[in-house]
Structure 1
Amino acid sequence: MRNKIINSMLTKEIVSQIGQQIKKSYSPFDNKAFLNQVFNDEWDSKRIKECVQHVSECVHQTLNLPYSQSLAILLDANKRLEYTYSHLMFPYYVELYGQNNFHESMNALKEFTKTSTSEFAIRHFILQNEQEAMKYMYEWSKDSNFHVRRLASEGCRPLLPWSFKIPQYVKDPTPIIPILENLKQDPQIYVQKSVANNLNDISKNHPELILQICNSWSKINDQSTKFILKRACRTILKQGNQEALNLFGVASNESITVKNLNINQKKVKIGTSFSFSFDIEDTEFASKNQSQQLRTRKNIPINSDYENRDDSDSEENKNIQQNQIIQNKDQKYQKMLRIEYKIDYLKKNGSYSPKVFIFRGQYALQKEKVSFEGFQNVEQIVTRKHYPGLHYLSIIVNGVEKAKVSFELLQES
C-alpha cells in the first residue's frame, strides 16, 4: 500500500518539480543536491509520513536559511502550484520548523492548505496555543476559499484519522461548535463532508450534543445542511439510537420480522466473496393497509430529498430513488425502514470485532413481505485482516438485530 501511494504522490519527477519551483523563488537552491538527499538508500524503506517529513527536512537543509526566510521562499513557490497531496511537505515544513513563530506559521498554513492540506500540521498549533489558534480557524470558517473553510473544520476534528487526538475536544467539544455553525450551509461538498465528519467524531463521545445540534439544524431547509446531518449521524444511527432514527423518520420496529436469512455457502475462502438473502415481513401490514393513508412528500423527514448525494451509499441510493416516495393511487400503507447488516469478524486473539454496513438507509416497505439479496467481499485489506474460523452475519432493522447466522472463513489457498 505504501509503494502505491508514494509512487503516485512523491515520484522523483514530482519532487523535482517542487524543487524547480523553489529554485524559481530562490536561485541559489541546488535542485540536484536536493534530489540526491531525498532519494537516498533509505527512501524505499520509509513510510508515507516519514517520506513527507524527509522531503521537508531535505528542503530545509538545501536552503540552509533561517525559518522566516525559508518560509517566504516556500510561500512564493506555493503560488505557482496546483492542488495535490504531493505538496504536503509545505505544511509539514511549518510543523517541523515553525512552532516558535506562531502567527507567521498560522498564516502560512492558511496559504499552504490551498495547494494540499494543513489539517495535520495545524493540530500542533492548537495544542500549543488553543485560544489563538481557534480564533484564526473561526475567521477561516468565513473565508472565500473553500480549502481554507475546510481546514477550519478538518483541523480541529477531535479524532482526525492519520493523526493524533485533540484530548481537550474529545472531552469537551463545545469550542468547535461556533466554527461548524458558520459552515452548516456551506455550498461545497468538500467542506460539507468535513463538517459532517467533525460532528460524527463528536457523536462518539457526546451523542446528546449531536442530537441537540441536529434537531436545531433540521429546521433549516437547505440541501447542504441536510446532507451534513445524514453523514454526521452515521455512527449513532448504526448504534440504533432511537432519537436519531426518529429524526430521520424511521418507523418503529415492533411489527418487523426478518426470516429465511441464509448465506449461499457456509464455508467461504478468504480472498473471495459470498452472497446472502433474507425476507422482511411486516405483521401490521394487513390491518394498516386498510386504514392508514400514504405519507406524502411534505411529511417525509429531512433525509428524503438528499440521500442520493451520499457517494458512500450508491447502491442504497438507487433503491431510495425507486422506492422512497410513490404517489400510489390505491393509497397503500408503507413503513420507512433502515436496514443494515453486521458481521462479527473473528480476531487473532479469538474475540470478535463487529462491523455494521448500510444495506438500505431509507427503504419504503410497501407490502407485507419483501425479499433481499446482498454480497460481501472477504478480501484482505489494509484496514482489516481476516482470520479463519467462525464468523456471524446479522440483519438489523431500525437499530434492532432481527436475525443472525454463522459461517466459516477458510484460509486462502
Structure 2
Amino acid sequence: MKNQLGKVAVEHIALCFSELDTDFKQAEFCQQALLGLDALELKQRVSHIIRVLHEFLPVDFAQATNLLKQLPTVWQKCDPNKEVSSFAAWPVIDYASVYGLAHPQQSLDLLSTLTHLFSAEFAIRAFIIEHPEYCHSQFTLWIKDDSEHVRRLVSEGTRPRLPWGLQLKNYMVDPSPNIPLLAALKDDPSLYVRRSVANHLNDISKDNPEKLLEICHDWHVNASNEVQWIIKHATRSLVKAGHSQVLSLLGYQQQLSLAPVSLCISNDHVQLGEYLEFDFEICSTSGESQKLVIDFAIHFVKANGQQNAKVFKLKSIDLAAKQSCKIQKRHGIKAITTRQYYAGTHRLEILVNGQGLASQEFELNI
C-alpha cells in the first residue's frame, strides 16, 4: 500500500502544482520528496511529503490555500491514464492539518473542496481537537451539502476510533455531540455516507455500548431497509461479543434448540503461513425456524502464554425446523502487520448467537 505513495505519485503532485504555478520548482521538489522515501512506511511518507511541499509552496498560508483549492481543476487532467491512486492526494490534503491549524476557517473550506480527491477524514481531526465549536458549526452545514464526499466527511471525520487517524478522546468518553449529525445522515441517499454512519456507530459501541443500544432502539422504530442495514452493520462488534440485548434487537434468540455441535479440525498442527481447515454441522431440534448468526473465534496465544480470542464472521442463516447446515472453512494463519503470532496451543471455538457451542485445540508452529 505504501508504494502507492511513491515516485509516480510524487511526480504527479509536482506536475499539478507546476500547472497551477509556473514558478513551482517541479524538478527540485521531486528530488527532495523522493530522497529517502523508499525507506519510509506509509504514514511516514505522508509526513515527509508534507514537509517537503511546505518548502515549495508560498509561506503565507492564504496564498498556499489558493493554490491547493485549484488542484481539482488539474488533478485528473494531469493523470489521463489514471496511473495515480487517490493516495497521492493524501499529503496534499493533510498539509492543512500541519500548517493551517491556526486558520480553521480557510482550512475547513479547503478540506471540503479537496475531500473528494482523497477523504479529508484524517486532516479534519486535528481541527476537531483544536477548534471543536467551529468544526461543529460547519458540520451542521455540511450534512446538507450537495456532495456525498462532504457529507461523509462529517460522519467519518468525527469517528472516535478511526483506523490510522487520531483518536478523538472526548467523543470516546461522550459521543453525544455527534448523535444529531449521524441521525441526520442515517437516511442519506448515498450508501457511501450510510456505511460511514454505521462504522461511526460501531466505534461508539466499543466505548459506550449502552449509548449505541439507545440509538439503535430509537432508530429501529419504523426503520427503512437502509436504516435497518445501518443498525445491523453498526452492532457487528457487539454481535461478535454475544451481547444479548443487541442479539435480541436484531431478532436472534438466546434460547437455542440445537443438537450438540461436532467440530472437526482437519489439521490440528498448523504451520504459520498455512490454513486451518475445519468443518461442523448445525442441526435444529426445534419445530420452528431459528434465526442464527454463526461465527468462529480463535483463541490466540499471547506473549505471556495466555490466550486472547479474535472473532471472525462466518454467516447468518434462517435455519428451518428440524433442518441442518454443514459448514466448511479454510482460514489462513498468515503473517499480518496487526498481529504478532506465538507458537503454542491455540483454541478454535464455534459461536452461534454469541454462545460457544463447540471448541477444539490445535498447535501453531512458527
TM-score by length of 2: 0.93
| Runs of 5+ unmatched residues, structure 1 | 289-332
Query: Are the equivalent residues in 2 in contact too, given 1:187–1:224 (CA < 8 A)?
Result: no
1:63-100 alpha-carbon deviations (Å, 9 max, x no partner): 24311101111111233325812101122110111011
Indicate the residue corresponding to 1:294 in structure 2.
Answer: none
**How far is 1:368 from its partner?**
4.8
In 2, Cα distance between the equivalents of 1:400 and 1:259? 12
Matching of residue 378 in structure 1 with residue 333 in structure 2: yes
Q: Mean Cα displacement is larger for which, 193-202 or 376-385?
A: 376-385
The residue type paired with residue 170 of structure 2 is Q
1:138–1:178 contact (8 Å) kept in structure 2:
no
In the alignment, what sits opposite 2:322?
Answer: 367
1:44 is aligned to 2:38? yes
Corresponding position of 1:323 = none
Distance 2:59 2:199 in 1: 39
Cα distance, 1:191 vs structure 2: 1.3
The equivalent residue for 1:315 is none
- 2: distance between equivalents of 1:64 and 1:144? 31
Aligned to 2:63: 69
SS at match of 1:119: coil
**Contact 1:258 1:395 survives alignment (8 Å):** no
Q: Does 1:56 align with 2:64?
A: no
- 1:244-283 equivalences under 5 Å are 244-283=246-285
1:240 aligned partner: 242
- Check conservation: 1:141, 1:183, Cα contact below 8 A: yes
CA RMSD of aligned residues (A): 1.7
Equivalent in 13, 21, 29 of residue 18 of structure 1? 13
* 1:80 alignment partner, one of 54, 74, 77: 74
Cα distance in 1, alignment partners of residues 148 and 292 from structure 2: 35
Q: Distance in 1 between matches of 2:44 and 2:292?
A: 46
1:366–1:360: structure 2 CA closer, same or farther, 3 Å change rule?
farther
Cα distance in 1 for partners of 2:323, 2:91 equals: 58
Q: Which residue of 2 aligns with 1:390?
A: 345
Which deviates the most, 382-391 or 230-239? 382-391
Q: C-alpha displacement at 1:239, in angstroms?
A: 1.3
Partner amino acid, structure 1, of 2:109: N
The equivalent residue for 1:27 is 22
Superposed counterparts of 1:119-130, under 5 Å? 119-130=121-132
% identical equivalent positions: 33
Structure 2 partner of 1:152? 154
Task: Report which stretch shifted further, 141-150 or 364-373.
Answer: 364-373
Superposed CA deviations along residues 346-374 of structure 1, whole A, max 9, x for unmatched, are 12221222111122223324325443322
Residues 1:334 and 2:289 are matched in the alignment? yes
2:215 matches 1:213: yes
After superposition, what is the alpha-carbon deviation per residue over 1:35-76, rounded to whole angstroms, capped at 9, x for unaligned?
A: 111111x22221211211221222220124311101111111
| Alignment match, 1:321 | none
Cα contact 2:6–2:37 (8 A) shared by 1: no
- Report 1 or 2 for greater relative contact order, CA contacts < 8 Å, sequence distance ≥ 6: 1
CA deviation vs aligned residue, 1:118-141 (integer Å, no higher than 9, x gap): 111111111111111111122112
Looking at structure 2, the residues matched to 117 and 126 of structure 1 have their Cα atoms a distance apart, in angstroms, of 16
Matches of residues 76-155 of structure 1 in structure 2 within 5 Å? 76-82=70-76, 84-155=86-157
Paired residues of 2:293 and 2:316 also in contact (CA < 8 A): yes
Tell me which amino acid in the other structure corresponds to 1:95.
S
Offset from partner CA, 1:155-177 (integer Å, 9 cap, x none)? 11111111221111111000010
Matched length: 358
Q: Distance in 2 between matches of 1:335 and 1:132?
A: 50
Match of 1:402 among 324, 347, 357: 357
Give, in whole Å, the separation in 1 of the partners of 2:68 and 2:328: 54
Matched, 1:175 2:177: yes
What does residue range 270-309 of structure 1 map to in structure 2 within 5 Å?
Answer: 270-283=272-285, 285=286, 288=287
Determine the C-alpha separation between the residues in 2 that align with 1:259 and 1:10.
Answer: 48
Q: Is the 8 A contact 1:197 1:231 kept in 2?
A: yes
Quote the offset at 1:223 in angstroms. Answer: 2.9
Residue identity in the other structure for 1:171:
V
Q: Residues 43 and 51 of structure 1 are in contact (CA less than 8 Å); yes or no, is this contact kept in structure 2?
A: yes
What's the counterpart of residue 295 of structure 1?
A: none
- Counterpart secondary structure, 1:274: strand
Going from structure 1 to structure 2, the CA distance change for 1:369 and 1:227 (only over 3 Å counts) comes to closer
- Tell me how far apart the structure 1 counterparts of residues 282 and 302 of structure 2 sit (CA, whole Å): 30
CA distance 1:36–1:102, shift in 2 (3 Å): same
SS at match of 1:256: coil
Q: 1:92 to 1:260 in 2, by over 3 A?
A: same
Residue aligned with 2:161, SS:
coil
Q: Tell me the TM-score normalized by structure 1.
A: 0.83
Gaps of 5+ in 2: 77-84
